[in-house]
């Protein structure tokens, strides 16, 4: 069977930070753990490229992001908050050799950064701005050992938000609250701390419920992803193979959310798994 090739169209620069730059792309080709996926419809994507790449760092960032996203799926399905706030991770690219490159791909979050964390009332007093879902979002991730509040204020002016993309950045109601149309971005080590020991305890304590809500395969993927982040190449080859398989299926499922329904196309025509694959070791 002839291998299909996807399309990658550069759109614009998405942002530059201390450790990476982000480009906005329209993609139908998504390399990554579990194989390259080619879709029928283009997906607006962010390509995050590390400035100082270390071997397989793109896969590690992808897996960090994946763990956070699956925990959000758990919280969201449990009704902890009303709107999903983590963009989907979609793939990763790891290249060694003389010119190493480490990049990973995730769903582009539309909107703007930098809404005010405070407002001035009629008496001229400054008060904290409420962000809909924020308290439940922060509290529940903190229970799992993930600091989603870290690095969400501008270092030069803490009154201004950072790493939160808001689709409609205008106060609602009486002007004291921002609505729920926002996404938390940047899952790098300098922006979001993950306490793997605390996370491990959370996953152990909530295993039965998480398997029921997310499915056993997704729970196992999270556990294997954590093991890879801890052990890397020292991880058992059989477990690496299982992680590769679980992540591949998860990425296919994520990309199906972006493929048009009602096109008259069967599943094989909407999404295609190419032979190429990114190695975890």
Over the chain (281 residues), the average pLDDT of each successive run of 10 is 77 90 96 94 95 93 98 96 95 90 96 93 89 97 98 95 94 88 96 96 98 98 96 91 96 84 48 68 69
pLDDT of residue 2: 52
Report the chain's C-alpha Rg in angstroms.
19
Query: Which of 231, 248, 192, 187 shows the shortest CA–CA distance to 65?
Result: 187
Q: Which of 102, 97, 108 is nearest to 53 (CA)?
A: 102
- What's the confidence (pLDDT) of residue 161? 96
Contact 10, 23 (CB under 8 A): yes
Distance CA 31, CA 36 (A): 4
Specify the 3-state DSSP secondary structure of 228.
Answer: helix
Alpha carbons 142 and 148: distance in angstroms, whole number: 8
CA–CA dist 188, 167 (Å, integer): 22
Residue 270 is predicted with a pLDDT of: 60
pLDDT at 122: 85
The pLDDT value recorded for residue 232 is 85
CA dist 204 and 209 (Å) reads 10
């Amino acid at each position: 069977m002839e291998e299909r090739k996807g399309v990658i169209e550069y759109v614009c620069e998405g942002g530059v930070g201390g450790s990476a730059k982000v480009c906005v792309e329209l993609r139908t080709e998504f390399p990554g753990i579990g194989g390259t996926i080619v879709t029928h419809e283009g997906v607006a994507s962010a390509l995050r490229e590390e400035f100082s790449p270390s071997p397989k760092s793109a896969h590690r960032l992808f897996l960090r992001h994946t763990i956070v996203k699956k925990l959000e799926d758990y919280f969201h399905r449990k009704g902890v908050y009303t709107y999903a706030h983590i963009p989907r991770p979609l793939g990763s690219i790891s290249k060694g050799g003389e010119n190493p490159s480490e990049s990973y791909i995730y769903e582009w979050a539309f909107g703007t950064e930098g809404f005010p964390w405070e407002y001035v009332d009629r008496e001229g007093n400054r008060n904290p701005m409420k962000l809909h879902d924020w308290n439940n979002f922060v509290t529940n991730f903190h229970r799992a050992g993930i600091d989603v509040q870290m690095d969400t204020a501008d270092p030069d002016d803490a009154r201004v938000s950072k790493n939160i993309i808001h689709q409609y950045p205008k106060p609602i109601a009486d002007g004291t609250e921002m609505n729920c149309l926002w996404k938390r971005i940047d899952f790098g080590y300098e922006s979001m701390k993950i306490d793997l020991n605390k996370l491990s305890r959370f996953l152990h304590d909530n295993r039965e419920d998480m398997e029921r809500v997310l499915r056993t395969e997704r729970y196992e993927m999270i556990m294997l992803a954590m093991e890879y982040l801890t052990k890397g190449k020292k991880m058992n080859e059989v477990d690496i193979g299982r992680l590769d398989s679980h992540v591949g299926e998860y990425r296919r499922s994520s990309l199906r959310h972006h493929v048009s329904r009602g096109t008259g196309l069967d599943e094989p025509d909407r999404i295609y798994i190419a032979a190429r694959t990114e190695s975890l070791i």
